[in-house]
Structure 1
Amino acid sequence: DETQRACPDILITNYSMLEYMLMRPIERSIFRQTKEWLHADSANELILVLDEAHMYRGAGGAEVALLIRRLLARLDVPRERVRFILTSASLGQGTAAEAAIDEFARNLTGLPRQSRRGFAVITGTREQRHGSGQPSDRVTDLLAVFDLAAFEQYATHPETARDAVAALAAGLGWSE
């Protein structure tokens, strides 16, 4: 109820709930207030963050792209008034990958090719991991017999959960 009365500055949701919100009468005030805020000053921008953007490909991606367009139509703002942040660790590297990322991002978010806005690909530094990444047979065997049921009861039976973790730690040779 509070969210409908005073539109939040930050709304964290997923595409399923956003679609549901666009249909529900109770959420109309959120979109009305956001529309009023966007129209009150041309410097105001909506920021949409799409985490794991690489998941929005194919039919699912088309649905999300259409949902974004429905949101912009509801807010009565052009695409250029919305800043998108797309995150992913799975879109590739290099010049060809960056061109493909740009094309993908434009298609998903509805940014026209001739727009003065564009996408900047910001990459991080991959963390170097040590070891093979493959567990030994001993580690696999220890994990297979780990008492997960006891561990999952840590809220009601902390001693039992602690015993399960201690047994695993001892088998792995970890210090107490």
Structure 2
Amino acid sequence: MTHRLQLWWARYRRNATLDLPLLALLLAACGLGLMVLYSAGGGDTGLVLKQSLRFALGFAALLLIAWLPPAALRRWSPWAYAVGVLLLIAVAVLGEGRGAQRWLDFGFVRFQPSEILKLAVPMTLAGYLHERVLPPSLLDLIVLGALTAVPALLIIEQPDLGT
């Protein structure tokens, strides 16, 4: 098993583009956050364990995304954008959380679709511009504005503008 893990890690390191100093700062910030949570929670380790699990899941997602080639991210970003917009529409119809319509409850997890769009919108805009000659034309600017306005208007409809 160890040999397989070493092979996987070697292949991952060949394909991934990680900024190690930035990664070290991220891990330090996560560690500091866990210490503050432990202190603020009065020594409750349950909160720290839950947050540690969330950090681990986020770190796994970071490693996966770092491993993907940029062309794949460019190809998938319009799909992530479309799913995010559809989920925002679903929030307008079905969602609620603490008096504001911004969450979807799937039973095992409560989810805020606007989080997908925090990544999908800039990636979609960058993918669109990647295929164009710069500087962008007026038509390109209108398309970019529309791509930004659709999720923005759906989020403005929600009482929570923290996103």
TM interval, shorter chain, is under 0.3
Name the larger-Rg structure.
1
Instruction: Specify which structure has the bigger relative contact order, considering alpha-carbon pairs within 8 angstroms and separated by 6 or more residues.
Output: 2
Q: TM-score, normalised by structure 2?
A: 0.25
Q: TM-score, normalised by structure 1?
A: 0.24
Bigger proportion of residues as helix: 2
